Amino acid sequence: MHNDESTEDEGPSLASNRTLEIIVALLFLAGSAIVIYDSARLGFGWIEGQGPAPGYFPFYVALAMGIASLVTLFQALRGSFPGGDDSFVSVVGFGRVLTVLIPSVFYVMLIGGVNLGPIGIPGLGLYVASAIFITLFMIFIGKDNPLKSALVGIGIPLTLFFMFEKWFQVPLPKGPLEAMLGY
Amino acid sequence: MTIQKTARLTMGAAAMAVMGATAAHAWEPTKPVEFVIPAGTGGGADQMARFIQGVISKHSLMKQPMIVVNKGGGAGAEGFLEVKGAAGNPHKIIITLSNLFTTPYGTGVPFSYKEMTPVAMLALDQFVLWVNKDAPYKTAKEYIDAVKAAEDKKYKMGGTGSKQEDQIITAALERVTAPKKFVYIPYKGGGEVATQLVGNHVNSSVNNPIEAVAQWRGGALRPLCIFDGKRSTYTAKVTETMAWSDIPTCKESGLPTEYQMLRGIFMPAGVKAEETAFYVDLFKKVRATPDWKEFMEKGAFNDTFMTGADYAKWVAAADKTHFDLMKEAGFLAAGAAAPAAK
Amino acid sequence: MEELSSLMHGFAVVLTPFNLFLMCVGILLGVIIGVLPGLGGANGVAILLPLTFSMPPTSAIIMLTCIYWGALFGGAITSILFNIPGEPWSVATTFDGHPMAQRGRADEALTAAFTSSFIGAFFAVVLITFLAPVVARFALKFGPAEFFAVFFLTFASFIGMGKGSPWKTLAAMCLGLALASVGLDKVTGTLRLTFGHTELLTGFDFLIAVIGLFGIGEILASMESGLKFQGATAKIRMDAVLQTWKKLPQYWATSLRSCAIGCWMGITPGGATPASFMSYALAKRFSKNGDNFGKGEIEGVIAPETAAHAAGTAAMLPMLTLGIPGSPTAAVLLGGLLIWGLQPGPLLFIEQKEFVWGLIASMYLGNVVGLIIVLTCVPLFAAILRIPFSIIAPAILVICAVGAYTVNNSMFDVWLMLVFGLAGYVFNKLGYPLAPLVLAIVLGSKAEESFRQALLGSQGDLTVFFSNWLVGGIMGLGMVMLFWPLIAMVVGKIRGGTKSATA
């Protein structure tokens, strides 16, 4: 849908459509294998008194998914897709995707903190993390004026805070700042 | 663990005894209290929790607001795991239904009532055996005899959820109908079950009174018996001819099956006795309102209140009962642990 | 015409300044709730339910149902503007609504959506007013086999719709079905595909998938093509509403068909979601411009919105007359009725005449008030797209995170949303259709459940799906839909028509 002309004149290609087709088809096959594995554990026949076993439905679904992905994989390997060798994404384009993807990952880390074995960082809560994310995003990616960025960055979480915590009383993740203020 | 728990319970009971005197200085919530419902929106537990929330705000029984959160995933495991993980947090309470016992045994998800602090039993929910009004059976005995006389798996029992209270009762009934069995068909909610029974897609149900009372009053369903040791105490007429108290017990009809469902409150483990005491007191106030009495009668609840050691003892006994019933019916999950010997 | 006089009496009950005030408050709250993903209509009503305990029941239900109407209207706004459906039944609205917004026709899409919603709701209310008792009995005929037939029909009408590889459509739909089966199996109470992870107990909520696939995926795609957002060039036309209204009458057939589908689905209660999908699929089949669906065809907005609103409104009928909720929101309202001391069911129409007719009257008025409020705001909503992308992008990300979190109060879901976002971006570029994927996540577990309930009841006998005229008829219709491309080809051959008929 978004695979329009704009990507063509953007320098070298990072990956071709065909490469991505193969990767995605393999991922689908892996998913199918996982589901079939667990369905086999649960059983996919008929259980007396319970009807079709719990694994019945997922098993056949995964089977169909596997077959469909094999066909796609085969077609991609044979190169029979029209436009299969066109660029999936250019280096420049992918760089731009990363400029929003990587900050988003950091943003989610900031909200809930990180807890990976030895590395344990407590989260800042959603409101503070959002303020930081919006402000920095506007300054560094949107190239906006820092004062305006800070105002928007603080304004949006503040509005959300009143809406969710005060008005609708839906608790969102909160961090040390909110704790200090007694929430 | 067990010793600590006993100690805490004793302390809790002691604290309650002196609570009246010290209420003025007692602990109070300092931030909004989260009220977890281990079930989806619209069900019996949800209705009760939202009703309690309404009563508390209507009569201003608590200074901080109470926020109701539905966490019904995995047959309620989601909600219970949340409370288990919130040890020491006095701003979180949970309302239970039988899935407190059935979910860990049925799915093997590791949680137990022992990992929470019991606050109070609010009421016991009844179960009634219902059939369609066009069915020829006037008593439970006639129905059971018909099941016995027919071929195996001829009769369909509709119920809420799988390996939960409705199916446990069905399994208990099958002890009487043996060797003939019901086909148990699980649905999402009690309202759906009642409608399926009205539409004759199943032959009977064991709906809670509140789930089927509308269809009873509308003349679409007929109650056969109530799964309690004694008849209901509500004598006001529900239909033109019958009151809840006119429904015979199943025992009277030759069905020795009794089952009631806990509607109780728990807190996370490791909370202080005065924190528990606050909630005990709060629910006493809720129960004193006229709204509560009306709600109890509408749903024909068994209006029993218990706290402290009594409540803890009741819960332990109920846990054992559920384990036995589920073991007998073959509902135990592979990883489910037996209740610890006392 | 006893109904008419009862209805007039109902209007008299509703038309007090206090009730009208509550109506406006309810609609506005509802629109806000509908706009914020994660705070769906059911949640919104549940959250505000306790506020109404001190009101008289009629006023309380007026306010709550107005929140519901408002949320239905509001759900369309984010679908069209940002490709983020807040409710399952707004998913189909994104298919053509968002492309319209991208082409600078957001105001037209919004007007069409709001107006169609109103028409759908109005049709359903008229039905409730005059046919309530007759129609309610029809709902009782639906057992598990009939429900499965309905879901089958919905899926069938969607297969073969995409232009891309049928294998990719199949893979995407199966992925959705597999994701839908994660968590507790409701029929046997067994945990499936959780591999011991407690985060997976709740399964994959459709909302997380949709926020990721559509919302985040959209932002990633916009980023790749540079920091521009085509909608930003949209002119604000104050007469957009009137201009769009001129175009609407020519789609009367689509509207009527969608109303019928919506009412049927709302009553049975299949719900608003299958209604919107089915209506979209049928409109695409029968429209002269079927090939343009998905690229910004106004008919593709009219069809799902009309059906969703008709179904949402018609869902009130089984709730009132039988005490079974036709939608999650109706389930919460049902809880409300009990708390206010009213017993829904067959006797409600007799014992609580004032309440029932007040409610029905408020459905008429609430939708009129709602339509006026949202239509006046169309230029305002469309203007949101003029905000620079550097503000909109992070704000949408934040709101998506909030929405994903509130579904289960879990950070895991926020991570999941990012994963779905990446998947949505890649799938879109490779031509894996997202619609069947989302449809499968939304309806997969319900379809599976009714399939197994039906087989359990029949002890494995598959003929249960053709055991009476009702279920057999729906299944037959489903079969026709499933093999429509083949049928169309055969018909085309016979007529000696062109090859394009098979699209």
**Spacing of C-alpha C230 from chain mean position:** 27
Question: Which residue has better confidence, B21 or C8?
Answer: C8
Question: Which residue has better confidence, C347 or A36?
Answer: A36
pLDDT digits over B110-166, tens only? 899 999 999 999 999 999 999 999 999 999 999 999 999 999 889 999 998 888 999
User: Which residues of A fall within a CB distance of 8 Å from C418?
Assistant: 101, 104-105, 108
Q: What is the pLDDT of residue A103?
A: 92
Helix, strand or coil for residue C309? helix
Q: Which of residues 123-142 of A touch C (CB under 8 A)?
A: 123, 126, 130, 133-134, 137-138, 141-142
Q: Does the beta-carbon distance from C201 to B74 stay under 8 Å?
A: yes
Is B19 a residue whose pLDDT tops 70? no
Q: Work out the mean pLDDT of chain B and round it to a whole number.
A: 86
Q: Touching check for A169 and chain B: CB below 8 Å?
A: yes
Distance, CA of C198 to CA of A79 (rounded, Å): 42
Distance, CA of B275 to CA of B88 (rounded, Å): 10
Q: What is the pLDDT of residue C291?
A: 82
Distance, CA of B254 to CA of B232 (rounded, Å): 18
What are B336's two structure tokens? 């489910």
Q: What is the DSSP string of A2-64?
A: ---GGGTTSSSEEEEHHHHHHHHHHHHHHHHHHHHHHHHHH--SEETTTEE-TTHHHHHHHHH
The minimal CB distance from C345 to the residues B47, B55, B214 is found for B214
- b/e burial code for range C150-170 (CB count within 10 A of at least 16 → b): bbbbbbbbbbbbbeebebbbb
pLDDT digits over C165-195, tens only? 788 888 999 999 999 999 888 888 888 888 8
Burial class of residue C235 in the structure, from the number of CB atoms within 10 Å of its CB (0-12 exposed, 13-18 middle, 19+ buried):
exposed
pLDDT digits over A44-92, tens only? 888 776 678 888 889 999 999 999 999 999 988 887 666 667 788 888 8
Beta partners for residue B261, in sequence order: B125
| E-state strands within C155-268 | 183-185, 190-192
Position of tokens 């990446």? C422
What is the number of domains present in chain A?
2
A46 CA to chain B: closest CA distance, Å?
A: 14
**What are the counts of helices (DSSP H) followed by strands (DSSP E) for chain B?**
12, 11
Distance, CA of B242 to CA of B293 (rounded, Å): 20
Q: How far apart are the first and last CA of chain B?
A: 13
Q: Does the beta-carbon distance from B217 to C198 stay under 8 Å?
A: no
Q: Are residues A81 and A98 in the same domain?
A: no
Residue B32 contacts residue B65 (beta carbons within 8 Å) = yes
Q: Touching check for C419 and chain A: CB below 8 Å?
A: no
pLDDT band at B57, cuts 50/70/90?
A: confident
Helix, strand or coil for residue B36? strand
Q: What is the pLDDT of residue C120?
A: 94
pLDDT band at C160, cuts 50/70/90?
A: low
**What CATH number does domain B128-246 carry, 3.30.497.10, 3.40.50.720, 3.30.70.20, 3.40.190.10?**
3.40.190.10
The DSSP output letter for B67 is E
Q: Touching check for A46 and chain B: CB below 8 Å?
A: no
Q: Which residue of C has its CA nearest to B103?
A: C189
Residue of A46, A169, A183 for testing the chain B interface, max B β-carbons within 10 Å: A169
CA B97-B185-B196 angle, 5° bins: 90
Q: Are residues A125 and A142 in the same domain?
A: yes
Is A2 a residue whose pLDDT tops 60? no
pLDDT digits over B171-197, tens only? 999 999 988 999 999 988 787 888 889
Mean pLDDT throughout A129-152?
91
User: Which residues of B fall within a CB distance of 8 Å from C189?
Assistant: 75, 106-107, 161-164, 186, 331
Distance, CA of B312 to CA of B11 (rounded, Å): 13
C135 CA to chain A: closest CA distance, Å?
A: 32
What are A182's two structure tokens? 């007694």
Distance, CA of B187 to CA of C449 (rounded, Å): 8
Mean pLDDT throughout C252-260?
93
CA of C173: how far to CAs of C177, C183, C279, in Å? 6, 18, 19
Q: Are residues A108 and A34 in the same domain?
A: no
Q: What is the pLDDT of residue C458?
A: 87
Q: What is the pLDDT of residue C38?
A: 65
pLDDT band at B251, cuts 50/70/90?
A: very high
pLDDT band at B341, cuts 50/70/90?
A: very low
Residue C381 contacts residue C101 (beta carbons within 8 Å) = no
Q: Touching check for A51 and chain C: CB below 8 Å?
A: yes
Mean pLDDT throughout C458-471?
88
How large a percentage of chain B has pLDDT more than 70?
90
What are A123's two structure tokens? 């989260």
Q: Are residues A112 and A35 in the same domain?
A: no
Is A6 a residue whose pLDDT tops 60? no
CATH of domain B2-125+260-329: 3.40.190.150
How large a percentage of chain C has pLDDT more than 70?
91
Is A9 a residue whose pLDDT tops 60? no
Q: Work out the mean pLDDT of chain C and round it to a whole number.
A: 84
pLDDT digits over C87-113, tens only? 788 889 999 999 998 888 888 999 999
Question: Which residue has better confidence, B26 or A26?
Answer: A26
The minimal CB distance from C323 to the residues B69, B185, B215 is found for B215
Tell me chain C's radius of gyration from C-alpha atoms. Answer: 22
How large a percentage of chain C has pLDDT more than 90?
24
Domain membership of residue A1 (yes or no) is: no
What are B291's two structure tokens? 């709204």
pLDDT digits over C122-159, tens only? 999 998 888 877 777 777 888 899 989 988 988 888 77
pLDDT digits over A141-183, tens only? 888 889 999 999 999 999 999 888 877 777 888 888 888 887 7
How do strand C183-185 and strand C190-192 relate by DSSP bridges? antiparallel
Domain with A167, as residue range(s), is: 93-180
Residue C160 contacts residue C463 (beta carbons within 8 Å) = no
The minimal CB distance from B31 to the residues A49, A170, A183 is found for A183
Distance, CA of A89 to CA of B205 (rounded, Å): 59
Q: What is the pLDDT of residue B14?
A: 44
What are C459's two structure tokens? 């002890």
Closest CA to A90 of A19, A24, A7, A18: A7
Q: Which of residues 137-176 of A touch C (CB under 8 A)?
A: 137-138, 141-144, 152, 156-157, 160, 163-164, 168-173
What are the φ/ψ torsions at residue C331 (nearest 5 degrees)?
A: -65, -40
Asked whether this chain's domains B2-125+260-329 and B128-246 adopt the same fold, the reply is yes
Closest CA to B259 of B145, B172, B197, B131: B172
Mean pLDDT throughout A11-39?
90
Closest CA to B318 of B157, B163, B112, B117: B112
Question: Which residue has better confidence, C348 or B12?
Answer: C348
Can the peptide bond before residue C269 be classed as cis, meaning omega within 30 degrees of 0?
yes
B220 CB contacts (<8 Å, ≥6 apart)? B132, B133, B198, C346
Distance, CA of B291 to CA of B194 (rounded, Å): 26
Contact residues, chain B to chain A, C-beta under 8 Å: 30-32, 34, 65, 67, 69, 153, 181, 183-184
pLDDT digits over B88-100, tens only? 999 999 999 899 9
User: Which residues of A fall within a CB distance of 8 Å from B65?
Assistant: 169
Helix (H) or strand (E) holding B84: helix B77-84
Is C463 a residue whose pLDDT tops 60? yes
Is A29 a residue whose pLDDT tops 80? yes
Q: Are residues A165 and A108 in the same domain?
A: yes
CA of C222: how far to CAs of A135, C245, C249, in Å? 20, 31, 35
Q: What is the pLDDT of residue C33?
A: 83
Question: Which residue has better confidence, B4 or B299?
Answer: B299
Q: Touching check for C229 and chain A: CB below 8 Å?
A: no
pLDDT digits over A158-168, tens only? 999 988 887 77
User: Which residues of B fall within a CB distance of 8 Å from A171?
Assistant: 32, 34, 67, 69
Domain membership of residue A5 (yes or no) is: no
Q: Are residues A109 and A166 in the same domain?
A: yes
Is B303 a residue whose pLDDT tops 60? yes
Distance, CA of A175 to CA of A157 (rounded, Å): 13
C473 CA to chain B: closest CA distance, Å?
A: 18
Q: What is the pLDDT of residue A81?
A: 66
What are C320's two structure tokens? 């009132």
The minimal CB distance from C405 to the residues A68, A107, A173 is found for A173
Distance, CA of C64 to CA of C22 (rounded, Å): 9
pLDDT band at B4, cuts 50/70/90?
A: very low
Distance, CA of A109 to CA of C35 (rounded, Å): 26
Can the peptide bond before residue C17 be classed as cis, meaning omega within 30 degrees of 0?
no
| E-state strands within C154-220 | 183-185, 190-192
What are B169's two structure tokens? 């009762």
Distance, CA of B63 to CA of B61 (rounded, Å): 7
| Domain ranges (residues) in chain C | 2-174+233-391+473-502
Position of tokens 């509140």? B210
User: Which residues of B fall within a CB distance of 8 Å from C142?
Assistant: 199
Least confident of B142-156, B240-254, C82-96, C408-422: C82-96
Q: Are residues A76 and A99 in the same domain?
A: no
